[in-house]
Amino acid sequence: MTTHPLFATRTQNMKASEIRELLKLLDQPDIISFAGGIPDPALFPADAFAQAFQTALGPGRQAQALQYSVSEGYAPLREWLVDHMASIGVACDMDNILITSGSQQALDYLGKLFLSPGDTALVGWPTYLGAISAFNAYEPLFDRLSIPGNQGAEEYRKAAGAGRVKFAYLSPDFSNPTGETVDLRGREALLDLAEDLDCATIEDGAYQALRYDGAPIPPILALEQARKGSIEACRTIYCGSFSKTLSPGLRVGWVVAAKPIISQLVLMKQAADLHSATINQMAVHQVAQACFESHIPKVRQTYRARRDAMLTALQAHMPEGVSWTKPEGGMFVWLTLPAGTSGAALLARALDTVKVAFVPGQAFFPDGSGENTLRLSFSNSDEDTIREGILRLGQVLRAGGQ
């Protein structure tokens, strides 16, 4: 890491993303990569986007598409999102929504909004690496979020010491990296904990639409709204994204929260980049309006088959002592290796001998634990490639990958 006497102290917490580095392997055609949580580009509604951009640049619209815009976001897209959020149980209006440059920008803004140096953020153990990176810049302490809580509010307060718990962050549906889902009881328990701690909840809904099995569970924000009657009384902040459903390259995400929170985030947006790209928002709106409901089932069908292929291959080829999650949706399977096995060392050996990539699990733990874990993504490989890759990985493990 590059350091300099002029750099702020917060830069000491900034680290390169292991996942972003591993994505460079995608340019090597002989590598079977289960590393990045990357959508399959064959599933992008490319024709619909081509038409949407053509429309945005057509007569009468190009001036708006290419001009500065309001920081809150393109109004028709926010109106569409009002209806979309209602469809998953959250009642809100346009003023409860801010468009961001992907949900990753939302996490950065929320870290900036809530965290002073030494404050505590409750996160999963493991948790999304991008959230750790976003929050780290604001110099917090991290504590383990246990759901349903076997640690009560008073224990969290003691663990936080002088640093107040400011929020709990989680992805309750098919989380990155484990693929696990928080059940209804766990979501209700989290709301109780947030009330007891007087802290916010950041609900990362990046994978919410990608359910393959089981009945949908209401978002945490919807459950809190049912308790309190209005989104304005809620302390939960919902972060959504079109990256996993329509296109990650356009970088369009959104935040839904009480208006005082949105107002503060708008000020941050104005200071950071003024507004997200107008033409991208216009294109996403047109595509979402035209085909979101018909497109998502195709995505689910494809990823469901790939998940099933990976789970079947793991059952066939993993040696005794290896366990894994069985996600109901999303893009990831989480492996726990026998004690003493290093995921990082296994990656080096797998790349060298069988050309298979994955993400060692240690990167997802704020304290650097989890050495014997790893994350596999099934979204960007077809079933035959998945079967071959898991076969190879099993061979490395059987040969002794520690």
197 and 53 co-located in one domain: yes
Same domain, 252 and 370: no
pLDDT band for position 16 (cuts 50, 70, 90): low
In this structure, the answer to whether residues 263 and 300 fall within a common structural domain is no
CATH number at residue 369: 3.90.1150.10
The reply to whether 39 and 59 lie within a common domain is no
Does the structure show a pLDDT above 60 at 26?
Answer: no
Q: Encode pLDDT of 228-265 as tens digits.
A: 999 999 999 999 999 999 999 999 999 999 999 999 99
Specify if 4 maps to a domain.
no
At 4, give phi and psi (nearest 5°). Answer: -160, 145
Q: 400 pLDDT band (50/70/90 cuts)?
A: confident
Query: For the residues 169-194, what does the mean pLDDT come to?
Result: 97
Residues 26 and 53 in one domain: no
Q: Is the pLDDT of residue 382 over 50?
A: yes
Q: Which band of pLDDT confidence, cut at 50, 70 and 90, is reported for residue 146?
A: confident
One domain for residues 287 and 304: no
Q: What is the pTM of this model?
A: 0.93
Average pLDDT over residues 356-371: 95
Is the domain of 323 the same as that of 230?
Answer: no
Instruction: With a cut of 50, say whether residue 401 has pLDDT above it.
Output: no
Q: Are residues 40 and 160 in the same domain?
A: no
Q: How confident is the model at residue 133 (pLDDT cuts 50, 70, 90)?
A: very high
Give the sheet arrangement for strand 141-144, strand by strand. Answer: 97-100, 253-256, 236-241, 200-204, 165-170, 120-123, 141-144
Q: Which of 273, 291, 309 is the last residue of a domain?
A: 291
Q: Does 158 lie in the same domain as 227?
A: yes
Tell me the residue range of the domain where 337 lies: 9-44+294-400
Clarify whether residues 306 and 278 are in a common domain: no
Q: Do both 373 and 282 map to the same domain?
A: no
pLDDT score, position 6: 86
Last residue of a domain, one of 291, 322, 337: 291
Q: What is the pLDDT of residue 28?
A: 76
pLDDT band at 381 (very low <50, low <70, confident <90, very high): very high
User: Using one digit for the tens of pLDDT, what is the confidence trace for 199-217?
Assistant: 999 999 999 999 999 999 9
Q: What is the mean pLDDT of the chain?
A: 93
Q: In this structure, is residue 3 part of a structural domain?
A: no
| The last residue of a domain, from among 242, 263, 291 | 291
Q: Is the pLDDT of residue 1 over 60?
A: no
- Confidence check: pLDDT of 162 > 60: no
Residue 1 forms part of a structural domain: no
| CATH number, domain containing residue 85 | 3.40.640.10
The pLDDT value given to residue 402 = 46
Per-residue pLDDT of 297-344, as tens digits, reads 999 999 999 999 999 999 999 999 999 999 999 999 999 999 999 999
Give yes or no for residue 154 having a pLDDT over 80: no
The predicted pLDDT at position 36 comes to: 86
The number of folded domains in the chain is: 2
The whole-number pLDDT of residue 59 equals 94
